[in-house]
Structures are given as C-alpha cells and as structure tokens.
C-alpha cells in the first residue's frame, strides 16, 4: 500500500479535550497511555482549578512534564505539527488546561507563563463567581467582569483557547462576544437534552459556533442524564448539538477523573460540598478512556458520514487549535 493510500485509510484523530489526573505531583501520568489507538490521540489534562495558586500549578506541571517526557508512549506537544509528529510515532500527544483563572492570582502575565508550560486552554471561572466572571452554580450571573475581558484579550494574544465550561450562561455568552478567536465549551453537555446547571443552553452553543468554536460533549453520568455514562447517552447529546450547530462545531471530551474512586468517596463523606443535582444519584458514573474509544463506531452505526465522524472525534478541536495556538 502506498503512503498516500495508507493515510487515506488511517482512522481519524481522537481529541480528548479534558480529563483529570489526580492533582498531585506523584500522579500516574502513564494512565494517559490508555488513549492509545490507531489514528492517534491528543489529550488535554487538567492541571488546576479554583483552589490552586500559581506555585501549585507550576510545580505540578513541571513535575508531570518531566515524567511524561520520560514515557515513550506519551509526547508533550506545543503545536499542531507536534501532534502530527506524535501520531506518526504512535504516541499519545499531551498538553494541559486550567479549569479556572484563579491560579493567575490576578496577574495576567501568568497567562504566558502557563502557556510556556504547555497550558493551551483556560476557563475564566469554575462553578461560582470569581474576579473574571460568573459560574454555572451561581443564582445570578452578571457576566464577564472588566478583568475577565482583559483576560480574554490576553488569552487571544498569547494563543490560549478561551473555554466557557463551568461558567454561567451570561459569562459564557460574554466570552464569545469578547473573544476575537474561536471559543470552546471543552466539556459541557446540552441542557435541552438533560436539564442540569452544568449543561449549556442552545443559545450558548450557537454563539460558540459563531466564533468558529466547538462544544465538547462530556461523559459524566449526571450531566448526560440520570447518572447515565453510556455511549448511547453521549451520542444523544451529540445528536442534539449537531442538529443545532452542525457537525463542524461538535467534539468529545470525557472529563474523566482517573481518581474516580477517591472522588466518589469524598462525595459520599462530604455531600454538603456539592448541590443536590450532583449528589442525588450517589456515586457518579464516568466514561473512561476505553468508553470514549467506542464513540467512533457508535457514530458510524448511527449513520454519521465519515467526514462528520472525523470532525466530531477530533478534527473540529484540531481546527480550533490550528487557529488559536498559532498566535504569536
């Protein structure tokens, strides 16, 4: 088979836009090798959220980078070309994301600092209001603040993707209005399919698409339905998003916590830390990497054409990266 023919028959790239190792320096980064597959995979790994400061994140990422670089199944990437190189080498491409702007500690110069460490996506706020904007669990969301708008300008300038997941609806809409580059909802499901405050409205999805962005349907059971982390539940949300904004603005992103047992133990022991819409079903079900690897076949079985399968599985998030990461 010629090289051109082999490329034509290569399975599409899988782009996992958000998953969670334990936020500890000794976390087993080798777990990311579970995403290895024909066609290649890119994985964005969370490196901090609201409770973490700049030093916490810097120390964590520095440690993880060293151990990822030492694992020949994984490859750190800074550009889309690096991802292509990783795919050719049979390695899982890895970059990072921040689930909150709190680790900046109010210093926008730290956006570039974290970018230099491999962070390629950042959320302004995580569930509740902070200096940048409102969260999805706030009773009232007043939208992006002046600081939040300055943050978006800095994200655009540095080449880091602005992410509306966990933000309030008004803040997410403001994010799309303020950004000059594509915005994503990296791991957010459709509220019209399952009414949960962590899910986004049709308006949010449409405005995200207007920016050229992508909605990443996520594999958390309580966000997909009544604690249903099945592939069928995930595809139901994909179907709605595709009907709404087209297959070119939809992706996948599990939000899988590799320490799910510890998370659910904490949830059982301290239910007061989360609202009832998180705790009512007991232990939360999550879609693991092995489940995500079956989505490609499920989409084909549903009748999605090859081009749409490739776009949803990874091509759309890759397109956003090509547009945003390339900023000087």
| 33 within some domain | yes
Question: How many structural domains does the chain have?
Answer: 1
78 lies in some domain: yes
CA 225 from chain centre, in angstroms, equals 19
Q: What share of the chain is helix, strand, coil (3-state, %, to 5)?
A: 45, 15, 40
- Burial tier of 216 (Cβ tally within 10 Å: 0-12, 13-18, 19+): buried
Residue 183 belongs to a domain: no
Tens of pLDDT, residue by residue over 106-131, are 999 999 999 999 999 999 999 999 99
DSSP state of 42: E
Q: Which residues in the chain belong to E strands, given as ranges? A: 14-20, 41-46, 74-76, 92-98, 119-122, 161-163, 183-185, 214-217, 250-252, 256-257
Binning pLDDT at 50, 70 and 90, where does residue 2 land? very low
Of the pLDDT bands very low, low, confident and very high (cuts 50, 70, 90), residue 274 is confident
135 falls within a domain = no
φ, ψ at 312 (rounded to 5°): -70, -40
Token pair belonging to 238: 């994909």
Q: What is the dihedral of CA 280, 282, 283, 287, to 10 degrees?
A: -40
List pLDDT tens digits, range 185-238: 999 999 999 999 999 999 999 999 999 999 999 999 999 999 999 999 999 999
| pLDDT confidence bin for 182, thresholds 50/70/90 | very high
Instruction: For 47-57, write each residue's pLDDT tens digit.
Output: 999 999 999 99
User: 281 in a domain, yes or no?
Assistant: no
Q: In this structure, is residue 313 part of a structural domain?
A: no
Domain hosting residue 94, numbered range = 13-99
Q: What band does 8 get if pLDDT is binned at 50, 70 and 90?
A: low
């Amino acid at each position: 088979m010629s090289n051109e023919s082999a490329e034509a028959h290569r399975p599409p790239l899988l782009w996992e836009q958000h998953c969670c190792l334990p936020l500890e320096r000794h976390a087993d980064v080798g777990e990311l090798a579970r995403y290895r597959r024909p066609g290649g995979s890119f994985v964005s790994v969370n490196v901090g959220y609201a409770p973490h400061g700049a030093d916490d994140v810097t120390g964590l990422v520095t440690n993880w980078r060293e151990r990822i670089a030492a694992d020949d199944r994984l490859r750190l990437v800074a550009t889309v070309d690096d991802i292509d190189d990783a795919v050719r080498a049979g390695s899982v491409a890895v970059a990072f994301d921040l689930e909150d702007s709190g680790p900046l500690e109010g210093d926008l110069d730290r956006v570039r600092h974290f970018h230099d460490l491999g962070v390629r996506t950042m959320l302004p706020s995580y569930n509740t209001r902070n200096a940048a904007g409102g969260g999805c669990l706030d009773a009232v969301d007043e939208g992006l603040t002046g600081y939040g708008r300055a943050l978006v300008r800095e994200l655009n300038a540095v080449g880091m993707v602005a992410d509306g997941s966990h933000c309030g609806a008004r803040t997410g809409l403001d994010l799309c209005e303020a950004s000059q580059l594509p915005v994503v909802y990296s791991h957010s499901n459709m509220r019209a399919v399952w009414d949960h405050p962590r899910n986004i409205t049709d308006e949010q999805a449409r405005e995200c698409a207007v920016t050229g962005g992508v909605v990443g349907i996520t594999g958390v059971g309580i966000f997909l339905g009544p604690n249903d982390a099945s592939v069928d539940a995930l595809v139901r949300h994909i179907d709605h998003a595709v009907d709404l904004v087209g297959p070119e603005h939809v992706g996948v992103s599990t939000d899988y916590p590799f320490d799910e047992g510890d998370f659910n133990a904490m949830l059982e022991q301290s239910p007061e830390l989360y609202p009832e819409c998180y705790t009512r079903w007991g232990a939360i079900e999550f879609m693991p990497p092995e489940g995500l690897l079956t989505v490609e076949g499920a989409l084909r079985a549903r009748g999605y054409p090859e081009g749409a399968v490739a776009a949803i599985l990874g091509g759309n998030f890759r397109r956003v990266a090509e547009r945003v990461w390339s900023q000087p």
